[in-house]
């Protein structure tokens, strides 16, 4: 995704979907494989005195290959779907054979929210919804791993873009927190000229989590 950057643009964070997106297809593949192999085992080994061993072996091999292909296709879709946050925009990329990419400019973002159920909280993923000017409805970045961290980075990047401050700041290279940054769970700042304040109408993602 780095090749999609424009001149002077810096990547901040790249997010992918959480591993739990493999559970549905994985469950179907396992059930299909077990059921198919069980039926083959229960099928008669001979018909009219002719052995069906080779036929059953070919069917079993075909079943294994079909299951592997289905799971591999889902993995490829996961691998090629990513959400990259830069200091200018969010870049959403999808597609395996036919690539699709769109971007959301940071200076047009009006609000963001993190939606997480109970299981998502436990396993550490969620949906990040981004509302921006000129779009009908919110853009849903679904099933993102570490969704709240992504939303926090987005909030900081949006505010930095609006105020003209660099983000990540030079302090980030040394491992220090950006100037004015308050980590989740603490206050937003000390009220000084460099303290951080969220955009008007913004609510912290932690306050919008649903059950």
Same domain, 31 and 124: no
Cβ–Cβ under 8 Å, residues 199 and 156: no
Same domain, 94 and 165: yes
Query: Does 4 reside within a domain?
Result: no
Beta bridge partners of residue 16, listed in sequence order: none
For the beta carbon of residue 181, count every other beta carbon within 10 angstroms: 21
**pLDDT value of position 203:** 53
Is the entire prediction scored with pTM above 0.85? Answer: no
Same domain, 60 and 155: no
Mean pLDDT of 33-62: 89
The range of the structural domain enclosing residue 39 comes to 21-79
Please indicate whether residue 14 or residue 204 has the higher confidence score (pLDDT): 14
Which residue is listed with tokens 């949906």? Answer: 127
| Beta-strand pair 100-105/109-115 | unpaired
* Rounded Cα–Cα distance for residues 198 and 159 (Å): 7
* Rounded Cα–Cα distance for residues 18 and 147 (Å): 9
Same domain, 27 and 119: no
What is the tens place of the pLDDT at every residue in 146-203? 999 999 999 999 988 888 877 765 454 444 444 444 444 444 444 433 444 444 454 5
What is the tens place of the pLDDT at every residue in 79-95? 999 999 998 999 999 88
Query: Does 2 reside within a domain?
Result: no
Same domain, 28 and 87: no
Same domain, 59 and 143: no
Domain boundary among 79, 96, 119: 79
Same domain, 70 and 173: no
Same domain, 170 and 109: yes
Nearest to 158 by CA among 199, 205, 114, 207: 199
For the beta carbon of residue 21, count every other beta carbon within 10 angstroms: 18
Query: Residue 102 is encoded by which pair of tokens?
Result: 């769109």
Query: Does 149 reside within a domain?
Result: yes
* Rounded Cα–Cα distance for residues 110 and 91 (Å): 17
DSSP 17: B
Query: How many domains does the chain fold into?
Result: 2
Q: Mean pLDDT score of the chain, rounded to an integer?
A: 80
């Amino acid at each position: 995704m780095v090749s999609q950057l424009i001149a002077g643009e810096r990547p901040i964070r790249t997010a992918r979907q959480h591993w739990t997106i493999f559970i549905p297809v994985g469950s179907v593949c396992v059930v299909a494989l077990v059921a198919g192999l069980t039926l083959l085992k229960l099928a008669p080994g001979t018909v009219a005195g002719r052995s069906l061993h080779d036929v059953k072996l070919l069917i079993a091999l075909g079943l294994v290959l079909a299951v592997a292909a289905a799971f591999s296709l889902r993995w490829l879709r996961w691998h090629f779907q990513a959400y990259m946050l830069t200091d200018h925009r969010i870049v959403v990329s999808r597609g395996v054979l036919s690539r699709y990419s769109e971007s959301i400019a940071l200076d047009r973002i009006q609000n963001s929210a993190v939606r997480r159920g109970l299981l998502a909280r436990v396993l550490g993923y969620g949906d990040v919804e981004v509302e921006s000017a000129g779009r009908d409805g919110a853009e849903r970045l679904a099933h993102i791993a570490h969704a709240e961290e992504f939303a926090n980075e987005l909030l900081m990047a949006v505010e930095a873009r609006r105020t003209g401050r660099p983000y990540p700041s030079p302090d980030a290279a040394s491992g220090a927190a950006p100037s004015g940054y308050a980590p989740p769970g603490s206050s937003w700042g000390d009220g000084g000229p460099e303290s951080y304040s969220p955009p008007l109408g913004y609510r912290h993602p932690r306050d919008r989590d649903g059950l």
